[in-house]
Amino acid sequence: MSFRDLIQWISGRKDEEISEPAIAPQDRRRHRRLDLSDGKLIVGSHGSFPLGNLSYGGLRFACNKTEVWPDIAVGNTFEGSLQFGQVKFSTMLRVCNVTPKDIGCSFESLSPAHARLLSEFLKPRALGHSLREITGGTMRNDTPDLRLRWFQGEDDTQIYLWETLDGQTVKEEFYFFDYMIRFDAARASLQTGKRSETVSKTGYGRIDQSTVAFFNVPSHRALKIGRTILESAHLPPVARDRLLASIAMEERRLYQRYLPGPNGGLRFRLDLPELQKLTIANISLTGIAFLSPEKSSEPPKDVVKGDDDSAATPGFVSDHGNEPVRGELSGVIELGATSLPATVRLLYRHREILGGTLHLKSDADVEQLAIFLAPRLLGQSLEELPPPTEEYQFAPPGARPYLFVGYHNTHLLSLIGSGRRLIAGRIVFMNQLLTFERGKLVAWRSEQGIVFPSDWDIPLETVERLDQMPADLLETCRNTVNEARIPDEVREAWLKVLTAV
């Protein structure tokens, strides 16, 4: 396994860019259609055709009937390979409408798995298009010197925007599904949260903040869905642009940065005997940030060297918010038993954080850091979702299912019995699968298939069973489980299985 490839996959650099479609104007068909800019349909020897639009019921693609497909007619069925965003699958299509320039088709016996892929792609985009400003309603505004605007869409999708009288954004609250994203423009801060499952939906209106559990590490799923909704929405720039930019920036950071926290045990040992080790606040392959040491009246003057080797800044603590800095630190990153010589070029200070770009000595050191980061990024991304509704066929009485979903198709599915015993489950990331069933741990590879988190069964026709258990896969899964914010009984059950091999 190439761990640098895994880091690239986590960050989305190996995936296609998701398109930004808009709803076709004056669409009166049964199924709402999305205009696409980069989707395509591949039909055997006939070639590849750009998609014009897509809906739950069918699609339209551009095709010069006379030159390319003269025998196509209404009522014909054919198989095509459909590609849009990050989705690719083959399905049967029935021709419903033919013009000289394009052809409209309905899906013929769309499989449940493919219907789910289609729905996951279309749903947030449809929600984005549905957002409209409500101008005639009466809303309570607790801040009279600010103007409160309300945008409402389908399925309880809402945006509350507080702005100054001259139109400057102060803060926003963005609700969709069970998520909330809160943006504070003055602090340039973004928080993601989730409504408590014990709180029932009461329709439109602001959510009681006491019912929202905010994530310590932002929810990648909330950021991804929220970004897609906003990209598809026709909103005023003041309601869309800053919030969307902040979500996109936080999403990029989340896909690359590991946040160990103050007790995470990661340290940067400076090449200076006068200073203690710095605690690493976050780290990626190209960047690093430290928690500031405690203030001292006279910090060492050669801690941060400027271009002329003089002290660039006295100490690390700033009481003035964001502040650019210049200088360089050299030392060793301590990752448990692994030590990596590194240089940090400082770029900024923000409150109690000092950060900059990270430069390792060799490609081998970069690979060592990738080996360390990859499983921890995967574990950091896992978020609990409702488990499969269908009961596992061999489930003993009292067994409890758990489901945690992360980046792309990453997920951890578990059925835990008495004594913190793993009855069944799987770990999936990239094209790697590790399943446990009937007391056996099996490794698989899936190059094309999608394994849905909410299904107990995997599509055997799309996976390849490996004859031997890869050691790096086991180690990656152990580190992922160790890092994930999951119940102790799930962690212990999986570690028993993963360390017994």
182-234 pLDDT, tens per residue? 999 888 889 999 987 654 455 567 877 888 889 888 899 999 999 999 999 99
Total count of domains within the chain: 4
User: Sign of torsion, CA 282 283 289 294?
Assistant: positive
Same domain as 462, residue 427: yes
Same domain as 278, residue 250: no
Q: Which domain holds residue 230?
A: 133-256
Last residue of a domain, one of 217, 236, 256: 256
Shortest CA distance to 280 belongs to which of 292, 295, 294, 271?
Answer: 292
> Tokens 């596992």 — which residue?
392
Last residue of a domain, one of 92, 108, 130: 130
**What pLDDT, on a 0 to 100 scale, did the predictor assign at position 176?**
94
**192 lies in some domain:** yes
Question: What is the rounded distance in angstroms from the CA atom of residue 59 to the CA atom of residue 91?
Answer: 12
**6 lies in some domain:** no
Q: What is the pTM of this model?
A: 0.78
**What pLDDT, on a 0 to 100 scale, did the predictor assign at position 22?**
35
**What pLDDT, on a 0 to 100 scale, did the predictor assign at position 321?**
45
pLDDT digits (tens, 9 = 90+) for 24-38: 333 444 556 788 777
pLDDT digits (tens, 9 = 90+) for 345-367: 998 887 678 899 999 999 999 99
Same domain as 408, residue 493: yes
Question: What is the rounded distance in angstroms from the CA atom of residue 129 to the CA atom of residue 118?
Answer: 17
**243 lies in some domain:** yes
**What pLDDT, on a 0 to 100 scale, did the predictor assign at position 113?**
80
Alpha-carbon distances of 472 from 95, 165, 440, rounded to whole Å: 48, 58, 18
Same domain as 490, residue 387: yes
Last residue of a domain, one of 200, 232, 256: 256
Going by their DSSP bridges, the two strands 102-108 and 87-98 should be labelled as antiparallel
Same domain as 491, residue 399: yes
- The mean per-residue pLDDT over the stretch 441-452 comes to 83
Tell me the residue type at 170.
V
- The mean per-residue pLDDT over the stretch 90-98 comes to 93
- Higher per-residue pLDDT: 187 or 441: 441
**3 lies in some domain:** no
- The mean per-residue pLDDT over the stretch 378-394 comes to 91
**262 lies in some domain:** no
**273 lies in some domain:** yes
**What pLDDT, on a 0 to 100 scale, did the predictor assign at position 448?**
67
Same domain as 454, residue 387: yes
pLDDT surpassing 50 at residue 18: no
Same domain as 292, residue 237: no
- The strand ranges marked E within 351-420 are 353-360, 383-385, 400-405, 411-417
**What pLDDT, on a 0 to 100 scale, did the predictor assign at position 412?**
96
Same domain as 282, residue 169: no
Same domain as 140, residue 126: no
Q: In the chain, what percentage of residues exceed pLDDT 70?
A: 84
Domain of residue 104, CATH code: 2.40.10.220
The sheet carrying 132-133 orders its strands as 132-133, 147-152, 158-163, 169-176, 179-184, 189-195, 212-214
- Higher per-residue pLDDT: 271 or 199: 271
**9 lies in some domain:** no
pLDDT band at 288 (very low <50, low <70, confident <90, very high): very high
Phi, psi of 168 (to 5 degrees): -95, 130
**122 lies in some domain:** yes
Residue 139 Cα to chain centre, angstroms: 33
Same domain as 237, residue 164: yes
